[in-house]
Amino acid sequence: MDSILETTLGSLTLKRPTVLASGILGISLDVFNRLHDAGAGAVVTKSLSKEPWEGYPNPTIFSVKGGGWINAVGLSNPGAENFAKMIEPNNDVPIVVSLVGSIEDDFEYMIKKFENCKVAAYELNLSCPHVAKVGLEVGDDIELVSKIIKKVKSITNSPIVAKVGLGKSDYLATVDAAVSAGVDAITAINTVRAMAIDVETQMPILSNKIGGLSGTPIKPIALRCVYEIASKFDIPIMGCGGISTWEDAVEFILAGSSAVQFGSVMGDNWVETFGEINSGIQKYMERKGYATIGEMIGKAKRQ
Amino acid sequence: MEKQRDNNHPHICVIEKIVDETPTVRTLYFKDSVLANVLPGQFAMIWVPGINELPMSVMVSDVTDQAALTVRKRGESSTALYNLSVGQQIGVRGPYGNSFKIKNGKILLIGGGTGLVPLMRLIKFANPSNHITVLMGSQTKNEVFFEETAKKLLEKNSHDIVPVTEDGSYGEKGYVTDVLEKLLEKNTYDGIYTCGPEMMMYKTVQMANKKGIFVQASLERMMKCGIGICGSCCVNDDLACRDGTVFDGAHLSQKSEFGHSHRTKSGILEEI
């Protein structure tokens, strides 16, 4: 019925371009079904590790006065094996499995656990800003990124997405390494390293002190990154960072995204966000005379 | 005047009074016009600086714009909150979640331990024409609390307060659900409201559903964000923090996890 919203990223086809970002609501198949019914084109799971992780003590998330959210949940997750068992019955929801690890063998170990699951794609978390030895610390190591992607590509036919963020290295060098190693798509960006201090108690609010900033304040930064990646590489992109309205989503598509991921917005709105953004994009397309998402991707690119 | 407050950012409050309810339970009072006026069933995330942040139901106070927290010392975080002194600071964010729908006529409240907190607030919001029965469960006599609080709050209502102890050292002997079962043999109610241990709520919901009585339960789950995005508190496809914490019994009877399982800090589903 809404095939106008169909979008493709290499071999991955999504009925709608709105995708649940990793870290948000990603631990229950029942919730995935609910989000899918609400209009999500795909859901990305919480980043899974080899073993279950409890994450950091609270406070793990709060809003920033003036806009946005800071979080350091600490990649809490039930572990790849428990998670794979949970999603085994799934047949309907396009599930993108997010993985986090330190070396290529970690990723191989985890992907093997999903042999009996329908996995739409794997998203490699190369950009979590608040856990040591994984995430951004891996993404900053260009050679390691290359090794991980080559290994993962050699053991699965599922599309591989690399999620990059703003770390110590030039993120475009990470994208370059990932593309050269054969990655199928890029998600950009993750949260941006940040903190907040309470002036009355004179303490950092997060138990981990440092976390990641998400929400509307990072949208212009994320948009710039998507635009830069789209200008330099021939690779499908899922734009992510502060998207909260259909206009934001269209902006990212015009910058070069084939799909958009979001999550923080649901702290204010709720699962209805998916339907609202989908219908907003569709109305925009009808008004502008687009028949497919593909025609719109990267339209804002200028020489 | 206070600037427009961001309810999702910790707001610092100072403890101004502490009342011991039992040897292991105490109530901490603090000034906060936002939390003082939350609806029955709503909760807040309470930051004990340097320790943790935990979801708490907000207790009533008879002082205008004063809020309170009733805490049992159990784990590291609740013990840290319990051990705070007058003059110390906490951060509060919220209120979060929905609230009880209070029916007209005869209503019954059934709670155990600190699960009585939202039920005390429910009494405060009840209609003066409500006849209110309160079943208060605890293990033993010196763990009974809020009996006087309930009496005071119920001054204008016709009411029955029934303390129940497991060892029979005070009030009725047994579990509160045993007392409810007996009451339901002879009486009917326009609404039943429950909060406390999950098995108590599960049995209550089952009994009420069987009799076709409107029933609501306020669920407790692992909570991190409180705003419906971390997913820790899910009960099947519901998020306790956002879709609840109050759910109708008819809705809960469709949820396989209610009364059976909850998630750990890492998100693994385990039996209750």
Question: Could you report the per-residue pLDDT of B48-75, keeping only the tens digit for each?
Answer: 999 999 999 999 999 999 999 999 999 9
Do residues B222 and B162 both lie within one domain?
Answer: yes
When pLDDT is cut at 50, 70 and 90, the band that residue B3 belongs to is low
- Whether B257 maps to a domain, the answer reads yes
Say what the pLDDT of residue A27 is. 87
Amino acid residing at A275: G
Do residues B86 and B167 both lie within one domain?
Answer: no
Do residues B127 and B240 both lie within one domain?
Answer: yes
pLDDT exceeds cutoff 90 at B105: yes
Domain of B145: which CATH number?
3.40.50.80
Do residues B138 and B267 both lie within one domain?
Answer: yes
Q: Which residues of B touch A71 (CB under 8 A)?
A: 225
Amino acid residing at B238: D
Q: Are B216 and B246 in contact (CB under 8 A)?
A: yes
Q: Which residues of B touch A54 (CB under 8 A)?
A: 264-266
Contact B230 A25 (CB under 8 A): yes
Do residues B62 and B132 both lie within one domain?
Answer: no
Domain of B91: which CATH number?
2.40.30.10
Do residues B79 and B124 both lie within one domain?
Answer: no
Token pair 């572990």 in the structure block, residue: A79
Q: Which residue has the higher pLDDT, B191 or A134?
A: B191
Nearest CB to A31; choose among B6, B91, B237: B237
Nearest CB to A61; choose among B77, B230, B268: B230
- Whether B101 maps to a domain, the answer reads no
pLDDT exceeds cutoff 70 at B2: no
Nearest CB to B89; choose among A26, A28, A200: A200
- Whether B212 maps to a domain, the answer reads yes
- Whether B124 maps to a domain, the answer reads yes
| ipTM exceeding the 0.90 mark | yes
Q: Which of B64, B96, B128 is the C-terminal boundary of a domain?
A: B96
**What's the whole-number mean pLDDT along residues B96-123?**
97
Do residues B148 and B194 both lie within one domain?
Answer: yes
Cβ-count burial B144-179 (b if 16+ within 10 Å, e if not): bbbbebbeebbeeeebebbbbbbeeebbbebbbbbb
pLDDT exceeds cutoff 50 at B1: no
Do residues B113 and B75 both lie within one domain?
Answer: no
* Residue A117 annotated as catalytic: no
Do residues B134 and B245 both lie within one domain?
Answer: yes
Provide the domain count of chain B: 2
- Whether B251 maps to a domain, the answer reads yes
Closest CA to A32 of A85, A82, A96: A96
When pLDDT is cut at 50, 70 and 90, the band that residue B205 belongs to is very high
Residue A202 burial class via C-beta count within 10 angstroms: exposed 0-12, middle 13-18, buried 19 and up: exposed
* CB atoms closer than 10 angstroms to residue A270: 16
β B106-112/B131-138 pair status: parallel
- Structural domains in chain A, CATH included, are 3-55+73-190+214-296 (3.20.20.70)
Q: Which of B48, B65, B96 is the C-terminal boundary of a domain?
A: B96
Q: Are B163 and B147 in contact (CB under 8 A)?
A: yes
Do residues B254 and B204 both lie within one domain?
Answer: yes
pLDDT exceeds cutoff 60 at B194: yes
Whether the CA torsion B149, B153, B155, B157 is positive or negative: it is negative
Q: Are A207 and A57 in contact (CB under 8 A)?
A: yes
- Whether B5 maps to a domain, the answer reads no
Do residues B123 and B219 both lie within one domain?
Answer: yes
Q: Which of B57, B73, B96 is the C-terminal boundary of a domain?
A: B96
Q: Which residues of B touch A45 (CB under 8 A)?
A: none
Containing structural domain, residue B47: 11-96
- Whether B4 maps to a domain, the answer reads no
Q: How far is CA B137 from CA A220, A245, B61, B259, in A?
A: 55, 48, 22, 18
Interface of B to A at Cβ within 8 Å reads 6, 8-10, 12, 45, 47, 49-54, 77, 89, 91, 93, 224-225, 227-232, 234, 236-237, 239, 242, 263-269
Residue numbers in chain A where pLDDT is lower than 50: 1
* A75 CA to centre of own chain: 14
Do residues B169 and B261 both lie within one domain?
Answer: yes
Distance CA A92, CA B266 (A): 25
B165: β partners: B138, B173
- Whether B6 maps to a domain, the answer reads no
